[in-house]
Structure 1
């Protein structure tokens, strides 16, 4: 009789775990699909909060923390492009503990170092005159690590191209060289296969957009 009860308990536990996993995947798929089409600071902020709620419910999963941080960094990038640099810090600072938690759960992951690069670049652009010397090397090191961990990650040349695109020519920027990086990124996107449908896949549209802006 004890064996029957034990078997029943194990079966129920397995069913509950599967149901929880299905709910997690469903929630993440919907949020990631929304992330692909979000363009506003408010939209990114709302998405970041939603990913954080998933992270709090699924504390052993690194991807909700990653995407919550990505949403904050994306909101900060939006503010930079629209000239709201004075508002970047409060937004991007939300990403720091999320990135740390993602890395705690997933060591030596190229995507997390991509995110570290983006975070430090966003912090730098909030006050480039005072932060460039400190944060530019940190951002560059994170990107170099991302490349070392996965040389085929298409987001590496994408970010290299963005650096060249946005940096003034007198400080080493070069839009023609940026275009080459974006074209390299597109080639890598064609060959890149994410681990599953929850894994990071963003960036191809950005590479295409930047190429269109370079005559």
Structure 2
């Protein structure tokens, strides 16, 4: 009986420590995910800092895909917003390394496929005329994968619409089709519920801005 009681105490202690660690992980992640919505964070310096932080969390946790996902998100957004073309490929490389780690833990994940599409888009934007043939199909294929993996993911329709909106009509773009997709994305956002509270929810405000621009003919 004494041996059983000691074993019970040990198991209870391990369980309590695990729960405390899990709660701390969720608290830190939630705080930093929320801060990604701040304009002060959405700068090259802010995104670089957050990417490094999420990478450290991922290295510490080892079994959670979300930290590496958000690290990739920060790096690819940095690649998309930077005005220094010489930095784009390096940031895209780091985003690709992060999202590969996330995908190893969560394969066939629609959110991960969306980031893979954005990475290809970031590489393409450096030189659309010369890189379009290589990276355009990669970006489009990743979004098709994302749509197959989760047809209810609103970010899929937002990103497809964004591609159509910013692509000239002579190369297959269409502002009218983009507008329809932005409207669909907003319907999906209204119904969307993440499977886990740390899963991605970003993009609704940006979609509203794109729809407004498309509606006003900008």
Q: Same fold (TM over 0.5)?
A: yes
CA deviation digits over 1:115-174, x for unaligned, max 9?
A: 111111111112323221111111111110100111111011100111011112221222
Instruction: Work out the CA distance in 2 between the residues paired with 1:166 and 1:121.
Output: 11
**Hey, what's the Cα distance between the residues in 2 that align with 1:85 and 1:206?**
23
DSSP 3-state at the match of 1:93: helix
Stretches of structure 2 lacking an aligned partner (at least 5 in a row): none
2:57 maps to 54
- Name the structure 2 match of 1:173: 173
How many residue pairs get aligned? The number is: 212
Partner of 1:65: 68
Is the Cα–Cα contact under 8 Å of residues 85 and 127 in structure 1 kept in the other structure? Answer: no
Q: 5+ residue gaps in structure 1? A: none
2:18 is aligned to: 17
Q: Which 4+ stretches in 1 moved above 6 angstroms?
A: none
1-structure distance, mates of 2:129, 2:44: 24
CA distance in 1, matches of 2:90, 2:108: 27
Partner of 1:186: 186
> Which runs of structure 2 are paired with 1:131-142 in the superposition (5 Å)?
131-142=131-142
TM-score normalised to structure 1 length: 0.94
Moved more, 38-47 or 108-117: 38-47
The match for 2:35 is 34
* Distance in 2, Cα, partners of 1:110 & 1:66: 12
TM-score normalized by the length of structure 2: 0.93
Q: Secondary structure at the match of 1:94?
A: helix
Q: 1:109 & 1:200 partners in 2: Cα distance?
A: 12
Once the two structures are superposed, the pairs formed by residues 96-175 of structure 1 within 5 Å of their partners are: 96-175=96-175
